[in-house]
Amino acid sequence: MELSSRLKLMNWLVNQGLTGAAGNDLIRGFCERCRAAGLELSRGLAFIDTLHPIFEGRGFRWNDVETDEADIFEYGSSSEGDAAQNWRRSTHYHMLEHGKNEMLVDISESGSLDFFQVGDLRANGHRHFIAFVHRFGEAGTIGEMDGFYSYWVTRNPLGFGEPDLAALRDLVPALGLAIKSAAQIDIARTLARVYLGRDAAEQVMRGRIARGVTERIKAVLWFSDLRGSTGISESIAPDEIIPFLNDYAQAAIDAIHDAGGEVLKLIGDGVLAMFTRDDMGIAKRAALRAENLFRQNMDALNARRSGDGRHGALGRADTGEGQSPLGGCHDVRCHDALRQPGARGARAPAVTRHRPSARHRRRSAAARARRGLIRARRPRARR
């Protein structure tokens, strides 16, 4: 690749990174421009760890021929199972273990190498393989996102020449920087959505974080919780409590999201959410649809837990229509939607078959008071 072509491609990568281009678009544009400039890439793959509650990282692929592989893939933990075995048999794991930044492999003569991806590449007619690890500094590391990993392949019978390798050594770090920039934006959005909710996250990402700035919205508010959660938590092993609460919370969250609602906060075993629409009739129907989905999710959850020999759960949901303030407070955006006095409320059909009796509620309150979970109020002296 000529120096002028190399500089032109590097400028393209910088501009794409500044505009926030997606990783799959970056790797496709990179490989196509390399081929147009004489660097005969036949396959490229890059991946980077991230911060996400479900998966560990995200990768991007490009091939010179049509395949059934997706150009974007997400991967889970590589610490156990088949993923762990494949990771330990990868060139990148070998490079990390031996402190290498690059590794060149002649695929046609790699029969004795036990790298899991090399055999498939050889079977598909590829000739030469080079892998890179570009490590981030401490200030540039976020969680497990501490490096950019990639490999590049050619079908050229002569393999990669020295000019090709020199071009890749110059260009891949620029590609890595652009992909890292996009990954950091994804991390910011993920963290905002996890801790603030989707609607609040979008407002924060648009810059609405000033203190004391509020807006009034009309919404149907949702609150659901578990029945008898105190008794359940005392009857199961301590290490089962969090998985149990996670299962229940997921049943509620999935129902709310599927119906178009927004989860505002998890409060112990409670879930606070809202449904906003220009037409409040549509918002009410969405809340009732969420309650029906919640019922179905709880039935499926209890059936699954019962089949595993684990404790089941019963939940209840309340909805109320009213106006709520959303605003900013201190250093983070506060999105605790509060029902206003006089707001109309309606109980959605309960997931349980009965409500606890007044006697049972008094007994439960007394039990919690004895455990120090609530504080008895002292009567005020009359003046």
pLDDT in tens, 220-267: 999 888 887 777 777 878 878 888 888 888 899 999 999 999 888 888
Q: What local confidence, expressed as pLDDT, does residue 31 receive?
A: 96
Q: What local confidence, expressed as pLDDT, does residue 308 receive?
A: 72
Q: What local confidence, expressed as pLDDT, does residue 367 receive?
A: 44
Which top CATH class is 209-370? alpha beta
Q: What local confidence, expressed as pLDDT, does residue 381 receive?
A: 44
Q: For residues 333 and 328, what is the distance between their CA atoms, to the nearest angstrom?
A: 4
Q: CATH 3.30.450.40 in the chain, residues?
A: 3-195
Amino acid of residue 272: L
Q: Which two tokens stand for residue 281?
A: 């009739």
Nearest alpha-carbon partner for 351 in 312, 381, 309, 308 = 312
Nearest alpha-carbon partner for 324 in 311, 314, 335 = 335
Q: CATH 3.30.70.1230 in the chain, residues?
A: 209-370
Q: For residues 296 and 210, what is the distance between their CA atoms, to the nearest angstrom?
A: 40
CA 5-8-9 angle, to 5 degrees, is: 85
Q: Whose structure tokens read 């919205």?
A: 217
Q: Each residue of 193-207: b (16+ CB within 10 Å) or e?
A: beebbebbbebbeee
Q: For residues 122 and 111, what is the distance between their CA atoms, to the nearest angstrom?
A: 9
Residue 94: strand pairing partners: none
> Which residues of the chain fall short of a pLDDT of 70?
110-113, 212, 310-383
Q: Give yes or no for a contact between 229 and 325, defined as CB atoms under 8 angstroms apart.
A: no
Q: For residues 372 and 294, what is the distance between their CA atoms, to the nearest angstrom?
A: 32
Q: What local confidence, expressed as pLDDT, does residue 370 receive?
A: 41
Alpha helices in 105-237 (DSSP H): 116-123, 162-196, 198-205, 229-235
Question: Parallel, antiparallel, or unpaired for β 332-334 and 102-106?
Answer: unpaired
Residues written for the chain = 383
Nearest alpha-carbon partner for 86 in 50, 123, 54, 47 = 47
Question: Parallel, antiparallel, or unpaired for β 332-334 and 315-329?
Answer: antiparallel
CB-CB neighbours of 256 under 10 Å: 27
Q: What local confidence, expressed as pLDDT, does residue 211 receive?
A: 73
Q: For residues 28 and 295, what is the distance between their CA atoms, to the nearest angstrom?
A: 45
Domain 3-195, what architecture?
2-Layer Sandwich (3.30)
Indicate the DSSP class of residue 348.
P
Residue 216: strand pairing partners: 325
Indicate the DSSP class of residue 269.
T
Q: What is the pLDDT of residues 147-176, one digit of tens each?
A: 999 999 999 988 999 999 999 999 999 999
The DSSP element (H or E) to which 93 belongs, if any, is helix 91-98
Q: Give yes or no for a contact between 195 and 33, defined as CB atoms under 8 angstroms apart.
A: no
Q: Which two tokens stand for residue 310?
A: 């684990």
Q: Which two tokens stand for residue 72?
A: 């974007």
